[in-house]
């Protein structure tokens, strides 16, 4: 699955510093193993439908989740409390997600192992996530 685009995304991620909902910094380098970066929009029906499943998906996979979502800080706090999320939730607008990951549709997930992309794709429902997770190995 490796290409020049994948290499460029990996380089972008290696130096990217994200702000978690609580103001703490999150970097891909903080995680030394498997990471699933999940990109969603609060204005996307498929994304909103996927939100209730993220906690369970994070619990059944060996990947550490980082969720990137647009919206407001208050929206993020409410989602964390309502869904009981314990993974980082980063405020990021769609345009910035697209600039970093080169995706063209949401919700989108990027699986990384040791900082290298092992799988990525659009995830409309939990079954899509499991399909990509199986391919990621």
Q: Report the first-to-last Cα separation within the chain, whole angstroms.
A: 13
Instruction: Report d(CA 75, CA 16) in Å as an integer.
Output: 23
Distances in whole angstroms, Cα of residue 125 to Cα of each of 31, 39, 57, 120, 121? 26, 13, 11, 14, 12
What's the confidence (pLDDT) of residue 102?
Answer: 81
What's the confidence (pLDDT) of residue 113?
Answer: 87
Instruction: Report d(CA 7, CA 55) in Å as an integer.
Output: 29
- Specify burial of residue 86 (Cβ count, 10 A radius: 0-12, 13-18, 19+): exposed
Helical H segments across 20-125, by residue range: 45-50, 54-60, 73-83, 94-101
Q: Which residue has the tokens 């891909």?
A: 28
* Angle, CA 37 vertex, CA 61 and CA 88 arms, to 5°: 90
Tokens linked to 84: 């009981």
What's the confidence (pLDDT) of residue 48?
Answer: 96
Write down the pTM of the prediction.
0.90
Q: How many CA atoms lie within 13 A of 57 on its CB side?
A: 26
What's the confidence (pLDDT) of residue 7?
Answer: 63
Residues of the chain with pLDDT under 50: 1-4
């Amino acid at each position: 699955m490796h290409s020049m685009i994948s290499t460029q995304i990996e380089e972008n991620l290696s130096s990217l510093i994200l702000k978690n909902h609580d103001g703490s910094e999150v970097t891909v380098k903080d995680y030394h193993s498997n990471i699933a970066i999940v990109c969603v929009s609060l204005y996307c029906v498929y994304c909103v439908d996927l939100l209730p499943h993220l906690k369970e998906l994070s619990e059944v996979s060996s990947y550490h989740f980082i969720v990137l979502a647009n919206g407001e800080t208050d929206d993020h706090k409410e989602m964390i409390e309502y869904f009981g999320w314990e993974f980082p939730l980063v405020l990021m607008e769609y345009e910035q997600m697209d600039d970093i990951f080169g995706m063209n549709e949401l919700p989108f997930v990027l699986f990384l192992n040791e900082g290298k992309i092992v799988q990525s794709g659009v995830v409309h429902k939990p079954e899509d996530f499991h399909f990509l997770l199986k391919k990621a190995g």
